[in-house]
């Protein structure tokens, strides 16, 4: 044994380390939102609150809100566009839905005459970058229009185009639920 080393010294150090480990709480950073606040966030999101608004309300980053929503399964999005039409009995009633301008540009060259005619008769909302065309048509035609744009939802499309597609799909889903 080297001079100056005492087994008692090492043993005391080991005990102190073990004690610190046992006194420590769970590993990692503490949660920014407790379970009650997380449940409130999920409820507010289900009622239509925006992620950024919730982040501001609870003084956390939007990414934190998205993590809470993902953990609760509240942000699960339907992947297939045809599921928008599921369970709708009266699709002949007309609905005014805004078609994002990126999709309207893509649909100008479509072969479906009803879509072209409906887009021409639509009213442009917010002309310029980020415009929309307000189209009044039956849900069946809106769903057909969405199907015509399905290729734009692929990973090869840019993020703005994918967002426009998802926005239009969400608007159709909301109109479907309201009818």
What does the block give as tokens for 80?
């297939």
Nearest to 59 by CA among 87, 37, 29: 37
Greatest CA separation for the chain: 96
pLDDT tens per residue, range 53-67:
899 999 999 889 988
What does the block give as tokens for 97?
């839905």
What does the block give as tokens for 168?
């239009």
72, HSE (Cβ side, Cα atoms, 13 Å): 20
Sign of the alpha-carbon torsion through 160, 166, 167, 169: positive
pLDDT tens per residue, range 33-86:
999 999 999 998 888 788 888 999 999 998 899 889 888 888 765 443 443 444
């Amino acid at each position: 044994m080297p001079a100056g080393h005492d087994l008692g010294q090492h043993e005391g150090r080991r005990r102190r380390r073990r004690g610190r480990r046992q006194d420590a709480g769970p590993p990692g950073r503490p949660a920014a939102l407790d379970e009650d606040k997380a449940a409130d966030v999920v409820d507010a999101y289900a009622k239509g609150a925006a992620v950024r608004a919730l982040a501001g309300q609870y003084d956390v980053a939007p990414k934190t809100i998205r993590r809470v929503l993902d953990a609760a399964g509240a942000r699960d999005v339907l992947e297939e566009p045809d599921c928008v039409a599921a369970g709708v009995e009266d699709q002949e009633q007309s609905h005014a839905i805004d078609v994002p301008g990126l999709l309207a540009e893509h649909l100008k060259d479509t072969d479906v005459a009803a879509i072209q005619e409906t887009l021409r008769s639509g009213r442009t909302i917010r002309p310029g970058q980020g415009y929309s065309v307000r189209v009044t048509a039956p849900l069946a035609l809106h769903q057909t229009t969405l199907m015509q744009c399905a290729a734009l939802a692929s990973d090869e499309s840019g993020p703005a185009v994918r967002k426009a597609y998802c926005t239009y799909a969400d608007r159709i889903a909301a109109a479907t639920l309201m009818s």
